[in-house]
Structure 1
Amino acid sequence: MRRRTGKLTCTAIATTAVLALGAALAGPLPQRAQAAPAAAAVTDYCQSQCSDILPPGQNGNATLAEILANRAFGTHPEHSTDQLGPYNNLVSGYPTLTDDKLTDFFNDSSFGVPADQVASVTKPRADVTITRDKKTGVPHIEGTTREGTEFGAGYAAGQDRLWLMDLFRHVGRGELTSFAGGAEANQGLEQSFFSQAPYKEEDYQAQIDYILATQGERGRQALADAQSYVDGINAYRKQAKDGRYFPGEYVLTGKIDAITNVGEIEPFKLTDMIALASVVGALFGNGGGGEVESALSLLAAQQKYGIAEGAKVWESFRERDDPEAALTVHDGTSFPYAGKPANAKGTALPDPGSLTPEQLVYDKTGSAKTGATQQVKAPKKLEALRGIYDDGVLPRDLFSRKHGMSNALLVSGKYTASGHPVAVFGPQTGYFAPQLLMLQELQGPGISARGASFAGVGMYVQLGRGQDYAWSATTSAQDVTDTFAVELCTPDGSAPTKDSTYYRYHGSCLPMEKIERRNAWKPTLADSTAEGSYRMQVYRTKYGLVTHRATVDGKPVAYTLLRASYRHEADSIVGFQMLNDPGYVKDAKSFQSAAQHINYTFNWFYADSRQTAYYNSGLNLVRAADVDPSLPIKGEVAYEWRDFDPTVNTAAYAPAAQHPQSVDQDYYVSWNNRQAKGYTAAGFGNGSVHRGNLLDDRVRALVKKGGVTRAALTRAMAEAAVTDLRGEDVLPELLKVLRSAPVTDPQAAKAVQQLESWQTAGAQRRETSAGSHTYGHADAVRIMDAWWPLLVEAEFKPQLGADLYDALRANLTVDEAPSAGHGPTGSHAGSSFQYGWWSYVDKDLRAVLGEDVQGPLARKYCGAGDLSACRDALLTSLKQAAAKPATEVYPGDANCSAGDQWCADSIIQRPLGGVTHDKVHWQNRPTYQQVVEFRYSRSQ
């Protein structure tokens, strides 16, 4: 039985009418299963010291009736929005937070459900029970057999995320537009993902076969678990369809007729789990790439300054191993990886002006060409729902943008009030409704865990807690992706052109493999885009996927992108299985051993009653000697990955001991900053000022003081979450330059005073009072938002020149303020200040001021190194910024009026279905978050 009652908290007669309409169109809702006491849970050693939160809420399914009511009256299905309020309220509540108030902002994540808190009990089959609690509706799944446990997990996932799972399996297969409509954003997203992970059906099956062949008994058990999970999804899928209480989006997208119930929800297959895993891997578990763009900026630097000096300038902006960077492992231990070779070999820079991107889309028809829309015939009372997906179900750049948003704060028991470790950590997977993650508790033979799992691959808890330990992850994004310059050829031996579809490999001229996907769509209630279609095409070589074409030393080449985890996204299933197994994870070392089996590029963190631990996972490549992984490499035998086997895309990987790791360091912080000394950061700008400094400074101060509590560590996280990184860590240097002489201009003097006042108060972006929707120091925040891009240009562009400045901006965006469009949900994404030129500005200004700078930029840029000229440039740009009205700084969008500063920053749960949610205050923190402190363990 489905758990939802169908009741909505709206007493208006009109609501009853809407529900009646929905019932007529989509069938009756089932009755809730009879409540009964939950079965006794396993021993929970956290003793109510563990909490978590996952906004907006656990329930991600909505019938057509519930969607109609939400659109008409703003009501929400039960448990679809009840975690959003507590998550939002921490912004105003953290300054006075104490341990006993944590449950005001987090949910108790204890195992089991007390008898008086049982909301429903469902038995989808005899060997499993799903108990949901009254407060959050989280499924607590207990199986007497392992198969039953996994079946129950799949069944509960269907109850909570059926539409979302269906949506993302189509994203993973490059078939989003055919499934959800041809909106421009859907087309862009589909194309972005397909260009990174194009697979044929046999490729999905090959991943299954590889696990069976290489992962032993655990691999076989993992795939059996996955099949039971799929069986559970399908059981709920069939019941929901037959009972007519399936998600209403199937009606809105034309999959099922609301009146006749004709239509189908396609059965899920094991290969769908691989497609879903590939989405997770592409979003959060890969690192590196961008070598072609790096090559272009290097060429621009060398054109500006000459070969040798240009390379020095470029290298200083690259900041591979910056000595001033905040580190997760900060005890001095070095883990060399992907560094700059003394004398690089095999580098393959394109000839100037020869580079062209590979074409992806072909044969456009209809609205794929014109973007036209058309009306759809529908019952009159459903007209309000027309076009809810006209802007697409997901942002078009979901996969093309860099992702790095999760954070972690852990303190050793040596420095806590209780003598036991304390952790506040979680992943930031974007703000969606429903969420990409869902909560669950799994209890069965060999499985005992509670936490969050990605919808559709929730056969195990991926981030959460066991009986006496907890774990979490942040995106690490170390470099496991390379670009190769593959020499083109022709089978008849004639001179090739850049358009050739043959390439040279180990002396042979081989044809490229063409992978295609043709998608077509028709207008629906949800998406009124007119009928259209197109074909996507990617060429695959043994060295990866073709992304560009160029000439190198006059010879035509294809640039190919090869990711270590390509065709291996599902291999990590065994590592997650181990994390859920109380017989495997018993201490910090066994946790690290489990994390070693995960090939996604993640930083993993662990806490139990005695220890904290850290391990950096991923398929770290053993590359050929002296190649530079930051730039394109010649596609030749001498420069291949060591032990490279293109048939299954495997190679030699760095042993576990060479991965950054640690046990019981005084504290750990991670906000996608560098992992350790010698461990080269992927991408640009990981230097002296990084978002991780906001955590590192605060946690270091707590540890120095001692007596750290859960509330104190949560306060540190929450304060960093509302702090403007530029205001805290760069504005002091800016003000030093401005105050190096009297500021006599009245307009500039006022702006300087406002910025000083804001900086002194903590440089925060917080309301004057809860719910006021007005920032304290609002003018200073506005000035900083307007000034930053202007000051960066004034500081660097005159010396770099337009071409090099633009090339470096292509490597690293200048700014990522809260109101900017970035992150996995585009604008209103919450996460901010991950990528930007803050470190460059900081280092350059300190150099101009004559202060000590470790790892300085190769040249002084602001005012060409002259303090007075630098000050003049900054003052001029500041006056321009101060004169900009709020309507220009915050131009407004579909959700906010122009000039509404709070709204521009606000977080919006991007709707992936028909239900929408209210805006909440900006805060820079994980989507799913745990606060844990174990005081007992199984060994005691």
Structure 2
Amino acid sequence: MRLTLVAALTGALLAAAPGAATASAGRATALPATAPDYCAAQCRDILPAGENGNATLADILGNKVFGTRPAHTDDQLGPYSALASAYPGLTDSQLSSFFNDASFGVPAAQVASSTSPRSDVTIVRDKATGVPHITGTTRYGTEFGAGYAAAQDRLWVMDLFRHVGRGELSGFAGGAAANRQLEQSFWQAAPYTEAELQSQIDVLATSGDRAKQALADARAYLDGINQYISQAYNARTFPGEYDLTGHIDAITNAGSIQPFQLTDLVALASVIGALFGAGGGGELASAQVKEAAEARYGTVQGDQLWSSLREANDPEAVTTLHDGQSFPYALPPGDPQGVAMPDAGSVVPEQLVYNATGSATSAATKAAGVLPGNLLTAKHGMSNALVVSGKYTASGRPVAVFGPQTGYFAPQLLMLEELQGPGISARGAAFAGLSFYVELGRGQDYAWSATSAGQDITDTYAVPLCTPDGSPVTLAATSYLYHGVCTPFETLSRDDSWAPTTADSTAAGSYTLVMHRSNYGLVTARGTVGGKPVAFTSLRSSYRHEADSILGFQMFNDPGAVHDPTSFQQAAQNINYTFNWFYADSSHTAYYNSGNNPVRAAGVDPGLPVQADPAHEWQGFDPATNTARYTPASQHPQSVDQDYYVSWNNKQAADFGAAGFGNGSVHRANLLDARVKALVAAGGVTRSSLTKAMESAAVTDLRGEDLLPELLQVITSSPVTDPKQAAAVQQLQAWLQHGARRVETSAGSHTYADADAIRTLDAWWPLLAQGVFQPGLGAPLFSALTGALQINESPSGGQTGPSSGPTDANESIPHKGSSFQYGWWSYLDKDLRATLGTPVAGPLAQSFCGTESACRSTLLTTLAQAAAQTPAQVYPGDGDCSAGDQWCADSIIQRPLGGIADAKTTWQNRPTYQQVVEFPTHR
């Protein structure tokens, strides 16, 4: 039974009272020797809000009542936020004001603590950030220390996500609607039995010496976690969230924290892989756009329009590789084979929830949930990278500014660490619970980072349904045809139940989550194809292989394995998730795109559902192991020493097919590419100038920079006579001259410069999308296209279109920072240029805005509607902001994962964890 909030707070007072048990500081040891470091204090990084993610119940009470926070909870938030205002005058010497020193080791004067949970490992924490610097004399000790430090800093987050990965979050953290939504979405993406989690470990154990070492490292890591759990429980220094959720009694200390095991790490890996390392799977949405286009324009013209909207290989798309290389993959075939188009209106989602009782039968509760319910299903922004070859830098050495965008949470999903031991030498960030290796960071003389690539490794199959006894087949059939044999679906189920909790106002409830699995993947929907019942399945190449990438990360941390671009690319080849990997040392830069890219049958269109039969399976497909033939390493986009690289989850290379919609002429990566290209052309690039380029892009409105000039060109082709329209145009012109930036009038003012123009554009964009495109598309096609590609991703996440028109539910994700990854920017850009008579490569197959006169009329009409909206209409307010508060609507909030909340910070479109590196020498 969970505690009431009153009892929890009473326990907090008791725990904090004089005489209450306190944690031992650990045995002090001599400061370990510093590993070789070739960065010469020119490596820096930052990870807001702070390294410390552990708050006892007394800490949580202090935060709620007095606003206090434990040390190092939010000390990286201020420097991170301040760059948004300070970047224009940034110099190399000022980088230390906005980024931490990422050198190896800790100077004696900066040591805050030095402890040894075992005799063969020392954990030193620095005064500035509290980051653990872990040095082991044995490999086991090093990894034990990594686990111990991870539990010190992220135990509650680790526990949350091992339950998310099993579809058991509600039973662990309460039955809030968001908790249920989240566990359901992950259960749909990666349902496993406990035996299947263990099986992945067993397979890895037979995969060679590196794999055996990785499992030994993981076991040592778990031993460190579990020793910390035991010690913290006895000393009552464990996270207070265990008290607040009733797992431990705040007064008697009755209860427990379950030890971690290897299968927990696989469950954690499945969550991270589903969030950041998968791609494809949008084939049903694409098919629905195709069908709606054909219904509107006829088969030939409709298919042409669908193809142009899909932009699978748009010639105007910004690419990470621009040196003339081509890497053909997942391109639409000229004569598609095996396409399985669903009959219009026949598709219904597969039932997931069964036997719901209590609060599980209601979507509405007062509780917010411990994690966003749409963490997986919504389109969250990811990461970016800017890397410049030494040929174009002031020092003659490569410079890199890069990092992942994993969202903003308190505490973060990532944690910082330094690991030094036999065969391990690295500092950087890793996901909590998987930090036995640094996943993004630096080695002795090189640094690396990643962005989510999202190439198509997931296909949708239309699997014919059948009945074993030959009776009439309906959508409710529990068997399917596999190679001519009527085969029963496997049923994967997970029971979850939760007790009532007064603290978050949720009631008791329970349900069973069920997924059906075929040899062609997980059933996600049912419908008919040509009138015959089918199950639509999702087949992902990395499914049932969540642990395989461990080998690549191990190699990144091994100075004996990675020492140059070639060895770095070889390490990245061992990662089966879809990532773009970037590398820099003192002489070279490199790039490699990882992932198990299945080799499809000839003629299969990866953007549409496929017939489930032997002729259209992945080549070499073995459903027993979920393996297939994969494209060889030589066919993955890759490069060494290109003049510069930029990535913001954009298209990788020429002819590398886009998975889904949205890789066209205008993409947020254009903001980076334009700035870095200009720096390279001028030469003399420095760490600070590259950082300024990144931050300039981070505070710029993509719509303002890349589309507003065209909009104004059409509008001002004739005089604007209406006074209100003219005033709005003047404000937009002034904002454009100021760089179309969303920045404060002065640091901390909480008021935007050019506020009226920004508000007008925020209101205008969804009206533009509807006004320009809906008349030509028609309501059904407009709606279908919105389902394949959201129309907007604004900083505030609140502009979803007029109340009388279609809305875009995915847009409403406020306070997440990341913006402009998804939207109809390219469509409007190509259409406006066609109207203006400007050449367009890869144009839309239909004109929507029309003649310049007709287009101007539409733009002015929608502009007038936008300008008439009040601030409260544009920024309607939420639980964190008053209606009409523009700055607050945009502001970044570190979403609390536990009991500690952090202050709001000004908007910027930037990686969560970020490095700035330049190595002057090499070993």
TM-score range, shorter chain: over 0.9
Matched, 1:844 2:831: yes
Cα offset, 1:38, TM superposition: 2.0
2:706 equivalent to 1:707: no
CA distance in 2 between counterparts of 1:412 and 1:468 reads 16
Residue of structure 1 aligned with 2:866, choices 881, 903, 910: 881
Q: What does 1:821-900 align with in structure 2 at a 5 Å threshold?
A: 826-862=813-849, 865-900=850-885
In the other structure, the counterpart of 2:336 is 344
User: Contact 2:463 / 2:481 at 8 angstroms: preserved in 1?
Assistant: yes
Question: Structure 1: which 5+ runs fail to align?
Answer: 1-15, 374-386
Could you list the per-position Cα deviations for residues 592-616 of structure 1 after superposition, in whole angstroms to 9, with x for gaps in the alignment?
0000000110000000000000000
Deviations 1:293-333 (A, max 9, x none): 11111000011111111110000000011111111001110
Partner of 1:383: none
| Structure 2 CA distance for aligned equivalents of residues 26 and 68 of structure 1 | 18
Pairing 1:163–2:156 present: yes
Fraction of identical pairs, as percent: 66
**CA offset at residue 25 of structure 1?**
11
Q: Residue in 2 aligned with 1:729?
A: 706
Residues 727, 759 of structure 1: 8 Å contact kept: yes
| Equivalent-residue separation in structure 2 for 1:291 and 1:184 (angstroms) | 28
The equivalent residue for 2:898 is 913
Choose from 82, 86, 90 the match for 2:75: 82
* CA deviation map 1:918-937 (0-9, x unaligned): 00000000000000000011
Counterpart of 1:4 in structure 2 is none
Residue type at the aligned position of 1:731 = L
Aligned to 2:914: 929
Counterpart residue identity of residue 818, structure 1: P
> In structure 2, how many angstroms separate the alpha carbons of the residues matched to 1:576 and 1:100?
32
Please say if residues 57 and 240 of structure 2, whose CA atoms lie closer than 8 Å, have aligned partners that are also in contact: yes
Residue 824 to residue 713, structure 1, CA distance change in 2 (3 Å): farther
Instruction: Measure how far apart 1:18 and its partner are.
Output: 10
| CA 1:496–1:24: 2 relative to 1, 3 Å | farther
The match for 1:633 is 610
Q: 1:848 to 1:727 in 2, by over 3 A?
A: same
Aligned mates of 2:486, 2:576 — CA distance in 1 = 32
The counterpart of 1:32, out of the listed 17, 22, 25, is: 25
State the distance in 2 between where 1:372 and 1:905 align. Answer: 26
Q: Which runs of 5+ in 2 are unaligned?
A: 1-8, 799-808
Q: In 2 relative to 1, CA 25–872 (structure 1 residues): closer, same or farther, beyond 3 Å?
A: farther
Answer yes or no: is the 8 Å Cα contact 1:252–1:525 preserved in 2: no
- Match of residue 518 from structure 1: 495
Question: Is 1:564 equivalent to 2:541 in the alignment?
Answer: yes
Deviations 1:776-833 (A, max 9, x none): 0000000000000001111110111111111101100011000006999932000000
Structure 1 position 362 matched with structure 2 position 354:
yes
Could you tell me whether the CA contact under 8 Å between 2:553 and 2:571 is conserved in 1? yes
Deviation at 1:740, TM superposition (A): 1.3
- CA change 1:19–1:522 in 2 (3 A) is closer
Quote the residue 2:551 is aligned against. Answer: 574
For residue 458 of structure 2, what is the aligned residue in structure 1? 481
Match 2:638 to one of 620, 643, 661? 661
Match of 2:54, SS?
Answer: coil
Conserved 8 A contact 1:29-1:245 = yes
Superposed CA offset, 1:47-79 (max 9, x none): 100000000000001000000001111111011
Are the aligned partners of 1:182 and 1:527 in contact in 2 as well (CA < 8 Å)? no
- TM-score with structure 1 length normalisation? 0.95
Cα distance in structure 2, aligned partners of 1:626 and 1:433 = 47
Offset of 1:403 from its aligned partner? 3.9
Q: Does 1:618 align with 2:610?
A: no
Tell me which residue corresponds to 1:153. Answer: 146
For residues 343-742 of structure 1, what are the structure 2 equivalents within 5 Å? 343-370=335-362, 390-742=367-719
Alignment partner of 1:936: what SS? Answer: coil
The answer to whether 1:814 aligns with 2:814 is: no
> Secondary structure of the residue that 1:571 maps to in structure 2?
coil
Give me the whole-angstrom Cα distance separating, in 2, the residues matched to 1:352 and 1:918. 48
- How far has the Cα of 1:273 moved from its partner? 0.2
Q: Deviations over 1:665-716 (max 9, x none)?
A: 0000000010000001111121110000000000000000000000000000
Name the residue aligned to 1:104. Answer: 97
Query: How far does residue 33 in structure 1 lie from its aligned partner after superposition?
Result: 4.4
In the alignment, the residues of structure 2 paired with residue 793 and residue 580 of structure 1 have an alpha-carbon distance, to the nearest angstrom, of: 50
**1:771 aligned residue (748, 759, 766):** 748
Mapped partners of 1:825, 1:292: distance in 2? 23
What is the one-letter code of the residue matched to 1:234?
N
Q: Is the 8 A contact 1:30 1:245 kept in 2?
A: yes
Deviations 1:84-118 (A, max 9, x none): 00000001110110000000000000000001111
Taking structure 2 as the reference length, what is the TM-score of the superposition? 0.97
After superposition, residues 217-236 of structure 1 pair within 5 angstroms as: 217-236=209-228
Query: Is the Cα–Cα contact under 8 Å of residues 491 and 502 in structure 1 kept in the other structure?
Result: yes
User: What's the counterpart of residue 765 of structure 2?
Assistant: 788
Task: State the distance in 2 between where 1:150 and 1:313 align.
Answer: 55
Does residue 123 of structure 2 align to residue 121 of structure 1?
no
- Residues of 2 paired with 1:73 and 1:203: CA distance? 47
In the alignment, structure 1 residue 331 sits paired with structure 2 residue 354? no
C-alpha deviation, 1:401, in angstroms? 1.8
SS of 1:129's equivalent in the other structure is: strand
Shift of 1:525: 4.9
Task: Kindly indicate whether the alpha-carbon contact (under 8 Å) linking 1:410 and 1:423 is maintained by their aligned counterparts in 2.
Answer: yes
How far 1:206 sits from its partner (Å)?
A: 1.1
1:751 maps to which of 728, 734, 740: 728
Give the drift of 1:28.
2.7
Seen in structure 2, the aligned counterparts of structure 1 residues 608 and 824 have a Cα distance that, compared at 3 Å, is farther
For the residues of structure 1 that align with 2:753 and 2:727, how far apart are their CA atoms? 17
Tell whether the 8 Å contact from 1:478 to 1:682 is kept in structure 2 after alignment.
Answer: yes
1:292 paired residue among 267, 284, 289: 284
Distance 2:139 2:575 in 1: 22
Distance 1:824-1:474 versus aligned 2 partners, 3 A rule? farther
In structure 2, how many angstroms separate the alpha carbons of the residues matched to 1:245 and 1:209? Answer: 35
- Of 118, 124, 130, which aligns to 2:123? 130
Please report the RMSD computed on the Cα atoms of aligned residues, expressed in angstroms: 1.5
Cα drift, residue 494 of structure 1: 2.1
